Structure 1
């Protein structure tokens, strides 16, 4: 089903939701210049049309005892659909993996892992990542500090 093109009000709604997904319907309506009911209907349409996948809370990993973020590049032994699907399913099942991307280039996947420290990461590697069939190689990089952490991005204009 084709998506209805976004107009300026839709873009304003999306920008406001990216900035604060907990905004009330009445606050959102006021900020975008609509009354509550039409604004709510637009939000529902944006959800139904697939412009909004969901709403999230961005957690403070350090406060949760998971202060280390590791970026891991993974190479698989094979690249057929079955191997890619198996690895993707494994990433979905690992709670430490907070992002996973199938990529182009030297590595097949880049994953972002939250752990409590180097020993927890070693355990993640040995007991989880390296137990996944088809993993040939990985390279890890511990991050020093998060400069920006956003769940999504809404461009000022589309097209």
Structure 2
């Protein structure tokens, strides 16, 4: 399915206002409520909309620090990669983990309370992951840009 201009307008609004009512969305993009509802259902069914979430304020829940961890594995074999990925998927504090091209094999993103909280996560989980040859951690000093919205 190709996205037309109306689909893109729907997606732009829903990315920033996921709780907007169908009636308000329909009015905003100049469609009837029934046509708008059908389009949103089709966008969901076709996988353009993968879900709806509440975005939490990490500071308010006590996790103001962002940490990025670069992992280099001892080998690129399928067994080592699979074992690492299964292990990292079980860590409750991991927000994102990406297989990378470049200096590191994986990049992990965490939100932590402070350095002591990160040390706990490191000892309990990260240091026990299989296949790690090197690990480098960096604390973000300030977030300059943060969005979940894709440019359409």
TM over 0.5: yes
Q: Which residue of 1 aligns with 2:13?
A: 16
Any stretches of 5+ residues in structure 2 without a counterpart? Answer: none
Q: Deviations over 1:38-74 (max 9, x none)?
A: 1111111111111111112221111111111101111
State whether residues 97 and 112 of structure 1, in contact with CA within 8 Å, keep that contact through their aligned partners in structure 2.
yes
> Do structure 1's residue 96 and structure 2's residue 93 form an aligned pair?
yes
State whether residues 69 and 107 of structure 2, in contact with CA within 8 Å, keep that contact through their aligned partners in structure 1.
yes
Q: Which residue of 2 aligns with 1:127?
A: 124
Give the whole-Å Cα distance in 1 for the aligned partners of 2:88 and 2:41.
30
Q: CA deviation at 1:80?
A: 2.2
State whether residues 29 and 39 of structure 1, in contact with CA within 8 Å, keep that contact through their aligned partners in structure 2.
yes
Q: CA deviation at 1:96?
A: 1.2
Q: CA deviation at 1:92?
A: 2.4
Matches within 5 A, 1:63-82: 63-82=60-79
> Do structure 1's residue 45 and structure 2's residue 42 form an aligned pair?
yes
Q: CA deviation at 1:142?
A: 0.4
Q: CA deviation at 1:91?
A: 2.6
Cα 1:109/1:152, change in 2 over 3 Å: farther
Give the whole-Å Cα distance in 2 for the aligned partners of 1:82 and 1:24.
47
Q: Which residue of 1 aligns with 2:106?
A: 109
Q: Deviations over 1:75-117 (max 9, x none)?
A: 1112222322332232322221111111101101111111111
Q: CA deviation at 1:9?
A: 0.4
Q: CA deviation at 1:5?
A: 0.3
Any stretches of 5+ residues in structure 1 without a counterpart? Answer: none
Q: How many residues align?
A: 152
Q: TM-score, structure 1 length as denominator?
A: 0.89
Give the whole-Å Cα distance in 1 for the aligned partners of 2:139 and 2:41.
40
State whether residues 58 and 151 of structure 1, in contact with CA within 8 Å, keep that contact through their aligned partners in structure 2.
no
